[in-house]
Structure 1
């Protein structure tokens, strides 16, 4: 699977608007609704570590290839945070993918319509789903993701944006995602539908620096479409540094799980801003997690791991 193919979705992506920014984020935050934290849901299948595809491998594109300079990368004792785009690859077995798709289908009853980036979604899915909560805190799962990207990763200590399910349908409702950069740095998107299930819904990104993004509707040879048409395909994106969008679903149904991970060693460089998060979840829901994220730490791997309810992942684990 190639991450640099150009496809028919490019024109549709260029026509998408850009997500609110600047003062518009503040206005959005004043009207944003916090995600649901409880709902009546059917029983889930249990999570099993055997659902992780430990042999996952795929191409990696560096931030330098997007135009970022070496001195702009984050470093920890000689190790660089250099991955911009990785995959697609499979991180779950067929059995695990089937269970995850079932869980995400059941969770749609708690989804909400939103006008920020995606149109219909469920934030904080791991707070409703024991399956998703255990999956993203499974040591084998985290090790696979960490080794593919080359840095130690754990679930983000900010719980509300850690796991989001996007639901796109071509039934009179736009199922696309506006042009935006993520507040999160390390974002993994798992496709729970394949191209055979829908039309449109193409993941498109700008292969260049964020400050060179030409804006929606303008032609540029650096727009790319990621080849994520296979059910189960997982794509990593350094979300805060890369503009990306998803074209509207014009027919059928597209479901994705978006997981935001966190590197404790680069916590001081974390790209999240308060107003980006509040624009998604509202001010009152954002404040508690934001304060926990900023508490001082002595041992990043341990302290942030505890805050995220995660196993400890260190540089030594990547060998």
Structure 2
């Protein structure tokens, strides 16, 4: 069980503070280029990926609160950890993320140092998250058709944490995104601290949580390459500060076009992270009306179309 110090971490700003962060946020960089990036290959995917699954009902959500589409229910809360990439694929991804660190920016919203919209900087990451085999593997793990999120800025984020004694911004938060995959590019041998912690309960119950509550859980993500799926908008979670060494993770946000009308993102949550000017065009791409959701949203995300039939 996580320690009391994990529970003492601050929470993400809300209300007026969220607007204040939106006004101060920096537009994510777009100009970085890798000197010699490896090519993405579909055989980097671990097609046999599987992991333990926890349902949203086990977090206290009722059937009426779950998203549904023609009898299909979005009820997965957590999957994993599992291996999403082969050892070779993980090595190439780690190489790419290490080289992108020069584009990292500091932020005071949730994480300290990160690269947002990494897929717009890296052809490797762009091709990986738009590979049909990759999307099918992720979709089958979660049980709903998934594509890259049409909100292009937060779709792929690299987080860098260094335990050098300096202050780190680490907060309890829930994501704007519903379908979030976190890939560990470092392992416990590389750092101390950095424990992924979450609350196995409804988000509206988190305020009253005290140390020792059995619903505070630590995800066993200590192995390099371990991947965890979290229904980010429905679950409060945090990462404890890294006190020694170096922790690098890639966070991928996917999207189910069939549940687009029930998407959990709010404008000010996104703007608090990236600023208003960067959020407006992405927000329009998400909210613009569609006639054929799987096709139209896939076009907006430059993605293959994934349907319910593909999950069979």
The verdict on a shared fold, with TM-score over 0.5 as the criterion, is yes
Contact between 2:151 and 2:282, CA under 8 Å: does it hold in 1?
yes
User: Is structure 2 residue 178 aligned with structure 1 residue 185?
Assistant: yes
Deviation (angstroms), 1:174: 3.8
Aligned to 2:301: 308
Q: Is 1:47 aligned to 2:40, yes or no?
A: yes
| CA distance in 2: counterparts of 1:217 and 1:115, whole angstroms | 25
What does 1:226-245 correspond to in 2, within 5 Å?
226-245=219-238
Q: Partner of 1:173: helix, strand, or coil?
A: coil
Asked if structure 1 preserves the Cα contact closer than 8 Å seen for 2:4 and 2:211, the reply is no
Partner of 1:197: 190
Q: Is 1:225 matched up with 2:222?
A: no
- Rounded to whole Å, the distance in 2 between the matches of 1:37 and 1:215 is 41
Contact 1:16–1:216 (Cα < 8 Å) also in 2: no
Q: Is the 8 A contact 2:33 2:121 kept in 1?
A: no
Q: Indicate yes or no: 2:133 matched with 1:140.
A: yes
Once the two structures are superposed, residues 45-102 of structure 1 have per-residue CA deviations (whole angstroms, 9 ceiling, x without a partner) of: 0000000000000111000000000010011111100000111000100000000000
**Shift in Å, 1:220:** 2.1
Selected match of 1:269 from 248, 262, 267: 262
Is 1:101–2:118 an aligned residue pair? no
Q: Which runs of 5+ in 2 are unaligned?
A: none
1:307 CA drift (Å): 0.3
Partner-residue secondary structure (3-state), 1:272: coil
- Residue 216 and residue 33 in structure 1: after superposition, are their counterparts in 2 closer, same or farther (change >3 A)? farther
Cα distance, 1:40 vs. partner? 4.0
Kindly provide the CA deviation profile for residues 212-260 of structure 1, in whole angstroms up to 9, marking residues without a partner as x.
Answer: 0036875422100000001000000000010000000000000000000
Q: Decide which of 81, 84, 91 is 2:77's aligned counterpart.
A: 84
CA positional deviation for 1:176: 5.9
Question: Superposition RMSD on alpha carbons, in Å?
Answer: 1.2
In 1: Cα distance, 2:65 partner to 2:82 partner: 27
TM-score by length of 1: 0.96
Distance 1:216 1:175 in 2: 23
CA distance, structure 1, for counterparts of residue 208 and residue 271 of structure 2: 24
SS at match of 1:180: coil
Per the normalisation by structure 2, the TM-score is 0.98
**Which residue of the other structure, out of 60, 75, 84, is the alignment partner of 1:67?**
60
Residue in 2 that maps onto 1:3: none
Are the counterparts in 1 of residues 108 and 169 from structure 2 also a CA contact under 8 Å?
no
